[in-house]
Amino acid sequence: MRTYASVLVGNLVFATLCCFPGPFALLLGCVAWREGEDWAWIALVGGVVCSAAIPVMAVTTARREFPRITRRDRVTDTRVSYGDDSFVVWAPRSERGPAEARLVRADVLEASFVRYHPDGEATFTTYYGNYTPDEFTPLIRMRLRVHDVEEAEEADGADGAAGFEITDEWRVPSLCLSAVTAGRLVVLVAPAAPAGPGNPEVPGKVTPQWPRSALLAGTRTCRVIGLDGRTTDVTRRCGRQLRQMRISREVGGVEMVGDTIDLRRLDRHTAARYTVLADRDRALPEDRAPVTEPGEEARWIVDHLPGEPGGFGSVGRGWSRRGGHLVRARLLEMRGTNTFQDHGPVLDTVLRIHPADATLPFDAARRLTVPMNYLTVLHRTREVVLSVSPSGRSYVIDWARTNLLAGVTAATVIAPDGQELPVTGCPDVIWSLMNLLASHALSNPAPVLDLRKRRMSAVAGTLMEVVRGRGAEANPVGPNT
């Protein structure tokens, strides 16, 4: 089981090798000082400065590499207070497109991975002024069904046969990959080329709007505070969101405070237009769109993107016996940075941690490397699994358990009689199994839990009760359901 201490020691050795002239100069300066050399103080000062950099470098690098949360990461003061069901994604801006382009919905019918090719020469790569470099932005081939009119307008009698299909390759920012998996995008369609004799009309250029797509997909939550102070949740209400986006585009943008649009902060004309949409929604309530559109298996690009594979998790015997345990946290905010790793972007995140002792949850802000495969399913889960130190003072994000709980990797239990029981998409069952294994100091880093193994015999009965007794209560979701 990888620990912070092992990472720190490894980085300390590496930093010592990199800064070896420091201790050498310090030793040389001490010898020269004893012999009364005039230049001894130069070697001593240089040696002290260089040697002091060794522990600083080791601690800083270990903190970047190891996803540990401590008391120093707790959020004590924040301008925006998020609810438990809030999730805010601050994604890079999309290409604006021509002013005469139409903003419409597009459904992802098929998606396939084309290329993701970072250099891989450094653990962390930082770009100055370029927040979406091509080498760290996956290239995805998609077949889209582009709508000329939104569904609500079709229901009012517009021509629902309008629209067209297009297949092309687009670079998808990692923070917006979940919009592809969910199957709902917002695109700008440029004016079509004029038709002529023997020259049929050609659809204009299609430009995906990635931050807006994450909003339409339901990855980012969205609320509207009316002029009367009443708050309405419009997450996954696609018709209303599209109309709001069109108004926002026409007026040059509307500010979202966290995940909320406050009409009381807008100019009177724009607020009135938003109010008309709210009144229409009250008169003709719109059903929420599904978490993911049908045919997700044709858009399942998760297996081709980098990231830690899911598993029931490794357990250190000492950690388990001294009271180490697992807890769940929920992501409240993600904000892109200009630093990347091969298997995922480095993001500024805010998590809400729910301690196992039923004390009040608390928020923690931490810069983390988030695996690319986990980012593809943010539209259906934002939960993260943490392993808690026996003292309860530090929390470590376990991406293997997180990815299994999120459904990134298929989870299977093999019963003592050899029967295979899939539990993918049953987070409550998987969570209970993880906790039972952790409490009994049983490691199972793979996504397949084989209860026929001798070391599992003591808890096999209890684990099977969890699978068979609670499996029916779960709500299966995933690529195979």
| 198 lies in the same domain as 294 | yes
| Tokens (6 digits) for 465 | 């009760």
- The residue count of the chain comes to 481
| Residue, of 6 and 382, whose pLDDT is higher | 382
Which residue, among 156, 162, 168, 143, has the nearest Cα to 104 in the 3D structure?
Answer: 162
**What is the bridge-based pairing of β-strands 102-115 and 164-171?**
unpaired
Place of tokens 């899911």: 310
| 261 lies in the same domain as 178 | yes
Q: What order of strands is seen across the sheet that includes strand 448-450?
A: 420-422, 412-414, 448-450
> Which of the four pLDDT bands, split at 50, 70 and 90, describes residue 411?
very high
User: Is 469 domain-assigned?
Assistant: no
User: Is 290 domain-assigned?
Assistant: yes
User: Is 185 domain-assigned?
Assistant: yes
| 95 lies in the same domain as 57 | no
Strands (E), 195-341: 206-208, 223-225, 231-233, 260-262, 325-341
Q: CA angle, corner 181, sides to 178 and 184, nearest 5? A: 85
| 56 lies in the same domain as 97 | no
In whole angstroms, give the CA distance from residue 283 to residue 270. 20
| 179 lies in the same domain as 255 | yes
Residue after which a domain boundary falls, among 299, 316, 350:
299
Q: Is the pLDDT of residue 300 over 90?
A: yes
| 19 lies in the same domain as 58 | yes
Let me know if 202 is exposed, middle or buried by CB neighbors in 10 A (0-12, 13-18, 19+).
Answer: exposed
Least confident span in 147-156, 219-228, 232-241, 276-285: 147-156
User: Is 321 domain-assigned?
Assistant: no
Residue after which a domain boundary falls, among 299, 321, 355:
299
Residues 200-254: tens digit of each pLDDT: 566 788 999 999 999 999 999 999 999 999 999 999 999 999 999 999 999 988 9
pLDDT number for residue 159: 38
Q: Please compute the mean of the pLDDT values over residues 155-178 and round it to a whole number.
A: 77
In whole angstroms, give the CA distance from residue 294 to residue 184. 11
| Tokens (6 digits) for 403 | 């990815």
User: Is 60 domain-assigned?
Assistant: yes
Least confident span in 97-101, 127-131, 345-349: 127-131
H or E segment and range at residue 210: helix 210-216
| 137 lies in the same domain as 269 | yes
Q: In this structure, is the dihedral angle defined by the CA atoms of residues 206, 149, 300 and 332, taken in order, positive or negative?
A: positive
User: Is 137 domain-assigned?
Assistant: yes
| 62 lies in the same domain as 97 | no
| Tokens (6 digits) for 12 | 């300390």
In whole angstroms, give the CA distance from residue 63 to residue 192. 52
Residues 371-388: tens digit of each pLDDT: 999 999 999 999 999 999
Residue after which a domain boundary falls, among 299, 325, 357:
299
Q: Is the pLDDT of residue 34 over 90?
A: no
| 159 lies in the same domain as 50 | no
**pTM of the predicted model as reported, rounded to 2 decimal places:** 0.86
With b meaning 16 or more CB within 10 Å and e meaning fewer, what string describes 342-378?
bbbbbbebbbbbebeeeeeebbbbbebbbbbbbbbbb
Q: What ranges in 252-307 are assigned the alpha helix state H?
A: 268-283
pLDDT number for residue 456: 92
Cβ(161)–Cβ(134) below 8 Å: no
Query: For the chain, what percent of residues have pLDDT higher than 70?
Result: 89
Query: For the chain, what percent of residues have pLDDT higher than 90?
Result: 58
| 126 lies in the same domain as 235 | yes
| 57 lies in the same domain as 106 | no
Q: Is the pLDDT of residue 52 over 50?
A: yes
In whole angstroms, give the CA distance from residue 242 to residue 216. 8
Q: Please compute the mean of the pLDDT values over residues 338-356 and round it to a whole number.
A: 91
**Residue numbers of the domain that contains 206:** 91-299
Residues 58-88: tens digit of each pLDDT: 777 767 777 889 988 998 876 667 888 899 9
Which residue, among 108, 251, 254, 102, has the nearest Cα to 187 in the 3D structure?
Answer: 102
pLDDT number for residue 475: 39
pLDDT number for residue 80: 64
Total of domains in the chain:
2
In whole angstroms, give the CA distance from residue 16 to residue 26. 13
User: Is 184 domain-assigned?
Assistant: yes
Q: Is the pLDDT of residue 345 over 80?
A: yes
Which residue, among 479, 18, 20, has the nearest Cα to 292 in the 3D structure?
Answer: 479
Place of tokens 């972007």: 345
User: Is 252 domain-assigned?
Assistant: yes
In whole angstroms, give the CA distance from residue 379 to residue 291. 7
pLDDT number for residue 470: 59
| 140 lies in the same domain as 208 | yes
